[in-house]
Chains A and B, each alone.
Chain A
Amino acid sequence: MSMVSLTIDGKMVSVPEGKTILEAAQQTGIDIPTLCFHKRLPPIGSCNMCIVEIKGRPGPVTSCNTPVEEGLDVATQSDALHAQRVINLKKILLHHALDCPVCDRAGECDLQNIVYKFGITDVAFEPRAQKRDDAYATSLIRYWPERCILCRRCVTACQSIKGIGAIDIIGEGDEARLVPVAADKCKSCGECLSVCPTGALTENLSRRKGRPWMGKRVKTTCGYCGCGCQLELSALENRVIGVHTETDDGVNQGSLCVKGRFGYEFIGDENRLKTPLIKENGQFREASWEEALDYTAKRLSAIKDQFGPDSIAGLTSARCTNEENFLFQKFMRAVIGTNSVDHCARL
């Protein structure tokens, strides 16, 4: 791989050929403001926030999709660049309702962060023609057109990560809008809402469960299939209020499927078992742990004594942890005295 040398803000930088100016700057620890750029996605180049100046070139270029060249002299900060970025950001905000107090994303919103950083306060708001009741592709994801900045992150994610292309932005200028173009292909994976830099796409399960900063986030492994996706459960008042992912983390690199992202309602379901049950005359009644455990140990011991250990079998679980499975087979082998332990690997 051949290396390319260039200068960024007076620093000499050497990066592999084919990298962008933005990547070269990030590698050097130089911070260029971005909004539509997302490290999991190919460059989009729609927001014009990452503009930089290249010595000898007439106007600024977007650094996210401009490849490095030998000998370039790049400036990432100047009064002119700052002024242009403010203009570009205000243009984006023109169609974005600053309804942060009621927005699910407030507190973890890329747009909110960059507006805060630039200290912008005086912006006009002209809502787009599209009404909120316009259908999104799926019942699990809600679309808020007045918050959408048409950055194309969601469209790009659906196309490049999922290979689906269920949504697209059609129309020009004020008529531009995000619409489902292949709604039947949408799998509700939520890739779009996870990359959305604003609150334009939100989870359409029960709302107002808690603000992003209120929940305690606990990193864990998804409880569904064997992919082993890494995710964070956001917990508030002993309930899960959302599932989050980190772009760099685990096999999933921030992606999840519909079950991993939206399938957490069972955890707090009111029908969860909450007390031991013992069956009497064909009916369950609630029992204390002491009674249920004593009863079970007594029955298992009696059956083992009367019919031998091989009259007892155990089913352990592909949904339980390694430690629980180890303990369960140890119980069957060491305490009951049988190798009749299996689980649903075959089913």
Chain B
Amino acid sequence: MTNPISDILKAEVILTTGTNTDENHPIIANYVKEAVTRNGAKLLVIDPRRISLVDHATLWLRPRPGTDVAWINGLMHIILKEGLQAQKYIDERTEGFEALKAHLETFTPDHVSATTGIPADDLIAAARLYGKARPASILYAMGITKHTTGTDNVKSLASLAMLCGNIGVDGGGINPLRGQNNVQGACDMGGLPNVFSGYQPVADEKAIKKFADAWGGVRIPSKIGLTVTEMISGAASGQVKAIYVMGENPMLSDPDKHHVEHGLETLEFLAVQDIFLTETAKKAHVVFPAACFAEKDGTVTNTERLVQRVRKALEPPGDAKEDIWIINEISKRMGYPMPASTAEAIMREINTLTPSYAGITYERIAEKGLVWPCPDKNHPGTPVLHRGNFTRGKGQFFVIPFKPPVESADKEYPFILSTGRVLEHYHTGTMTRRGSGLNRLYPEALAEISRADAQKMGIAEGDYINIISRRGSIRVKTWLNDRSSQGMVFVPFHFHEAAVNLLTHAVVDPVSKIPEYKVSAVRIEKAS
């Protein structure tokens, strides 16, 4: 997020898109509702699903899945036609405006309406709502990024925000809501194939030298490594021989499950460390029992870049060990004894090698966290990014053409499948499908289809259906509601017995390498 969560309370208008905030970020949803009910802010929801946040919205637009660039360009077209843009901000702080303006010429309300299915009048109303508000906040999540055009979608949202002067100001910003407790931190720490911690590129000789020297003169390649989807393909093709997995479950989380299974089974060696024997761990040659969050010390970084403490409350069960100990023991046996053996000592190493985390110490965050960038021990942290200047200098407008999704509904596969999460469960269900509490509320996977479609196919509430794509088929119970539009089906991916990633395809966004989980073509048959 460019802005803190509490900034939502300062916004005049909140635009949410591709985020089912009530279910996936319930506490952030509290802020959105408080902004509306107590502060009189207006909520603009743009989402193919009629999620519960719509109850609080001034206006809700329902685009066809995979048409985000079209409606975003459409809103910008109207904002420019009506002169609602922040021209002074554009002139002083951005570049590329004239090219964008020329590009937007063809995105007329009628044209965009035909692509997205949103009525032209609603597009105009939404553009006025967002365009006239200062400040306005944009919240988005993986409904925007899980597309082959995910990067285009995000760049377009950034342009929309800059067009109205909403980046670098209190109460504004472009704010991705991140799904896991430390997905932000895992990226910050260099858990990515192209960067070290603090996003220092592995292709930069100076960065390589800095890390290689700090780590005792080791040789680090400058070649960018493989992403998770490329690792799986590499395993299948024989290029990758071994994978070491710490606390991930690609068997359920990755697209095209058959493909993943084949890849993992082809490996010469698979090591998995986890807290349960997950679907992925079952494929391993060796499994290490790990400690869970309640059994270790450390820090995690939330979606607003706030670094906070995790503290040990329990001893791990049986012989389970903390991940740090396990990695250090393997490392030692491979001839490289790691100097740091506690979380706090590793944080000190992070401080010295990662400018954005340089000032974040356990002592300073004992009571309250700090927001990176925090470049030194006296720095108060940086809750709002791009204030005064963009990190790169001028804010760049990008010219983004509309590209349709890889698959679209056709005669053979007439439905669009979107996958996602539900409130009661978390990712691949490793944690939430244990115990009775959450499972009493949401015991099995439910496919959400519209009542109208169900009626046409003779499907009643709770009937089982088969959902079939070009890659596979699953059997799943139905939940008839009006959250899905006609021609759309939503299935959560938490459930191994109805593994929806048997259906999804593995074509990814060319830059972010995120799969197009929000658009797969499927057909539906009533199951016996």
Q: Does A307 contact B (CB under 8 A)?
A: yes
In contact, B225 and A338 (Cβ under 8 angstroms): yes
Pair A341/B193 contact, Cβ less than 8 Å = yes
Q: Is A131 an interface residue (CB 8 A)?
A: no
| B36 to chain A: closest residue by CB | A163
Q: Which of B77-85, B88-96, B345-353, B397-405 has 4 or more CB atoms under 8 Å from chain A?
A: B345-353
B28 at the interface (CB under 8 A from A): yes
Which residue of the partner chain A has the closest CB to B188? A322
Report the minimal beta-carbon distance from B402 to chain A, rounded to whole angstroms.
Answer: 23
Contact A313:B311 (CB < 8 A) given known A220-B294, A225-B180, A322-B185: no
Q: Which residues of B have CB within 8 Å of A258?
A: 26, 423-424, 438, 441
Asked if B240 and A313 sit within 8 Å, CB to CB, the answer is yes
Partner of A267, one of B37, B234, B292, B324: B292
Stretch at the interface among A101-109, A192-200, A327-335: A327-335
> Which chain A residues lie closer than 8 Å to B304 at the CB level?
228, 251
Tell whether, in the assembled complex, residue A315 and residue B244 are in contact, meaning their CB atoms are under 8 Å apart: yes
Asked if residues A296 and B184 are in contact (CB atoms below 8 Å), the reply is no
In the complex, B199 has a CB within 8 A of chain A: no
CB contacts (< 8 Å) of B457 on chain A: these are none
Question: Which of A229, A295, A314 is the one whose CB lies under 8 Å from B246?
Answer: A314
Q: A66 an interface residue at 8 Å Cβ cutoff?
A: no
Q: Is A226 within 8 A of B178, CB to CB?
A: yes
Is A128 close to B, CB under 8 A? Answer: no
Q: Are B26 and A187 in contact (CB under 8 A)?
A: yes
A323 to chain B, nearest CB (A): 4
The residue that A323 contacts in the complex, of B240, B298, B312, with Cβ under 8 A, is B298
Of B192, B225, B293, the contact of A220 (CB 8 Å cutoff): B293
With contacts A238-B314, A263-B431, A321-B299 known, is A161 near B6, CB below 8 A?
no
- A235's nearest neighbour on chain B, judged by CB, is B313
Max chain B CB contacts within 10 Å: which of A161, A227, A287? A227
Residues in B whose Cβ lies below 8 Å from that of A230 = 308
**Which chain A residues border B289 with CB–CB below 8 Å?**
272-276
Q: Which of A8-16, A69-77, A86-94, A298-306 has 4 or more CB atoms under 8 Å from chain B?
A: A298-306
What CA separation (Å) do A324 and B315 show in the bound complex?
A: 18
| B331 sits at the interface (CB 8 A) | yes
- Report whether B324 and A324 are in contact in the complex, using a CB–CB cutoff of 8 Å: yes
Instruction: Give the docked Cα–Cα distance between A341 and B223 (Å).
Output: 12
Option from A265, A309, A318, A320 in Cβ contact (under 8 Å) with B435: A265
Check if B465 is an interface residue, CB within 8 A of chain A: no
Contact of A329 among B38, B191, B245 (CB under 8 A): B191
Residue contact A272 to B275, C-beta cutoff 8 Å: yes
A342 CA to B319 CA in the complex, in Å? 27
For B431, the chain A residues whose CB sits under 8 A away are 223-224, 263, 266
From B182, B184, B243, B318, contact of A314 by CB (8 A): B243
Q: With A240-B314, A259-B438 known to touch, is A334 a contact of B298 (CB < 8 Å)?
A: no
Cβ of B220: which chain A residues have Cβ within 8 Å of it?
333-334, 337, 339
Task: For residue B107, give the distance in angstroms from its CB to the closest CB of chain A.
Answer: 29
Shortest distance between the CB of A241 and any CB in chain B (Å): 11
Q: Cβ of B284: which chain A residues have Cβ within 8 Å of it?
A: 277, 279
Tell me if A293 is interfacial: C-beta within 8 Å of chain B.
yes
Bound-state CA distance A86–B329 (Å) is: 65
Which of A218, A257, A279 is most buried by chain B, counting CB atoms within 10 A of its CB?
A257
Whether, in the assembled complex, A269 has its beta carbon less than 8 Å from a beta carbon of chain B, the answer is: yes
Which residues does chain A contribute within 8 Å of B250, judged by CB atoms? Answer: 315, 344, 347
Query: Is B424 within 8 A of A259, CB to CB?
Result: yes
Instruction: Give the complex CA separation of A66 and B430 in angstroms.
Output: 50
- State whether B27 touches A259 (Cβ < 8 A): no
CA distance A266 to B324 in the complex (A): 21
Q: Is A49 an interface residue (CB 8 A)?
A: no
The complex places the Cα of A226 from the Cα of B24 at a distance, in Å, of 9
B323: Cβ under 8 A from any A Cβ: yes
B462 to chain A, nearest CB (A): 15
A–B pairs, 16, beta carbons within 8 Å: A162-B30, A218-B312, A226-B183, A262-B437, A263-B435, A266-B292, A269-B435, A276-B288, A279-B285, A289-B329, A313-B225, A322-B185, A323-B347, A324-B323, A339-B223, A346-B508
Closest 3 CB pairs of A and B: A265-B435, A274-B318, A228-B302
A226-B179, A344-B250, A345-B192 known; 16 new pairs, CB 8 Å cut-off, are: A163-B55, A225-B180, A226-B178, A230-B308, A264-B294, A276-B319, A297-B330, A297-B334, A313-B226, A322-B299, A324-B322, A328-B323, A339-B225, A340-B231, A342-B228, A346-B513
